Structure 1
Amino acid sequence: MTTFASPTQGGASRSLWKVEARPGAEGPVHDFDSEQVWSWVAGAATVELGGRTYTVTAGDTVVMPARTVRRVLADPGHGYTAVVTAPAGARAFGPDGAEFGVPPWIA
């Protein structure tokens, strides 16, 4: 993760960061207490969101609602790069409801 804007960097009410995933990388199953917006700028991925599956490529955007279980899997041949935004202080949770807290790239 590369953070572009966050409260710890000075005064941002939203966090903005870049995710670069290697080919075949699999993100964890989790959710957040607030909406996230993901925009893919390179590569491709499969997004599992609220029981549905989407294939995304560069130029696509997915709005991930709060309290919706999600997982992002990088394309096995290309990986992906995405730019993501969420409210500052967004808290992550496991699929069982266990709180993981505020990720450092959002804080």
Structure 2
Amino acid sequence: MPIILGSTAPTFDMPNATFTGLASPSRGSKETCVWKTRVHPGGAGAPHSFDHEEVLVVVRGAAVASLDGVEHQVAVGDAIVVPAGVMFSMANPHEEPFEAVVSLPVGAMAFMNGQSFVPDPAK
């Protein structure tokens, strides 16, 4: 069983969020990708969907999760289950950072801004 050290995990910055790749095929995982998402205070993520279920577990802060346009308040300890095909986005209207651990099957196809791609949280 590979051990993936958070201290060596790749990190990617976007305007409203930071992503830390944890488990992926390039890091030894064959079936499940896992990464940590940090949405900066005042930040909002782009609406997207996947062709497989996405699961997020809130580990820090609070945010507003939008699933097919319906907003839900989420906080530490909550899990967000995003069914395949459902448009999803996350916004952090608070002054503290929001963090979640995200899980998705390897090879899941993402759809965002009219484009499709397979995300690799370790690249």
Provide the TM-score with structure 2 as the length reference.
0.78
2:116 aligned partner = 100
CA apart distance, 1:37: 0.5
CA apart distance, 1:106: 7.0
Structure 1 distance, partners of 2:122, 2:82, is 16
Report sequence identity in percent.
Answer: 35
CA apart distance, 1:11: 3.8
Residues 31 and 106 of structure 2 are in contact (CA less than 8 Å); yes or no, is this contact kept in structure 1?
A: yes
RMSD: 1.6
Query: Which of 44, 56, 67 is the equivalent residue of 1:49?
Result: 67
Provide the TM-score with structure 1 as the length reference.
0.89
Question: Please, which runs of 5 or more residues in structure 2 have no aligned partner?
Answer: 1-18
Structure 1 segments of 4 or more deviating over 3 A?
Answer: none
How many aligned residue pairs are there?
Answer: 105
**In the alignment, structure 1 residue 39 sits paired with structure 2 residue 57:** yes
1:76 aligned partner = 94
Distance 1:27-1:47 versus aligned 2 partners, 3 A rule: same
Higher relative contact order (CA 8 A, sep 6+): 1
Structure 2 distance, partners of 1:86, 1:67, is 13
Pair member with larger Rg:
2
